[in-house]
A = this chain, B = another copy of it.
Amino acid sequence: MEGNKVKIITTKQEICQWAKQVKTSGKSVGFVPTMGFLHKGHLSLVHEAKQANDHVVMSIFVNPLQFGRGEDYTAYPRDEERDKKLAKEAGVDILFMPSVNEMYRKQQSIKLMVTERTDKLCGAKRPGHFDGVVTVLTKFFHLIMPNRAYFGLKDAQQFAVVAALVDELDFPIEIIPVNTVRVPSGLAISSRNVYLTIDEKKQAPALYQSLLLGKKLIEEGETSSTVIIKTVSSYLNKQLGETVKIDYVELLSFPELEEIAEVSRKVILAVAVQFSAARLIDNIMVDS
Q: Does A176 contact B (CB under 8 A)?
A: no
Q: Does A139 contact B (CB under 8 A)?
A: yes
Q: Does A181 contact B (CB under 8 A)?
A: no
Q: Which of A27-59 contact B (CB under 8 A)?
A: none
Instruction: Select A169's contact among B23, B113, B114, B142, beta carbons within 8 Å.
Output: B142
Instruction: Select A110's contact among B108, B110, B142, B164, beta carbons within 8 Å.
Output: B164
Interchain nearest-CB distance for A22 vs B (Å) = 10
Q: Does A126 contact B (CB under 8 A)?
A: no
Q: Does A239 contact B (CB under 8 A)?
A: no
Residue of B nearest to A20 (CB): B172
Report the separation of the CA atoms of residues A53 and B242 in the bound assembly, to the nearest whole angstrom: 68
Instruction: Select A114's contact among B109, B138, B139, B170, beta carbons within 8 Å.
Output: B109
With a cutoff of 8 Å between Cβ atoms, the chain B residues found around residue A20 in the complex are 172
A111-B112, A112-B111, A113-B111 in contact; A106/B168 too (CB < 8 A)?
Answer: yes
Instruction: Select A109's contact among B111, B117, B172, beta carbons within 8 Å.
Output: B117
Interchain nearest-CB distance for A129 vs B (Å) = 14
B109 close to A116 (CB less than 8 A): yes
A-B contact pairs, 30 of them (CB 8 A): A16-B170, A19-B172, A20-B172, A23-B23, A23-B24, A24-B26, A106-B168, A108-B115, A108-B168, A109-B114, A109-B115, A109-B116, A109-B164, A109-B168, A110-B112, A110-B114, A110-B115, A110-B134, A110-B161, A110-B165, A110-B168, A110-B169, A111-B112, A111-B115, A113-B113, A138-B169, A142-B170, A142-B171, A142-B172, A143-B170
* 8 additional A-B residue pairs with CB within 8 Å, beyond A110-B112, A112-B112: A109-B164, A110-B113, A110-B161, A110-B169, A113-B113, A142-B171, A143-B170, A145-B172
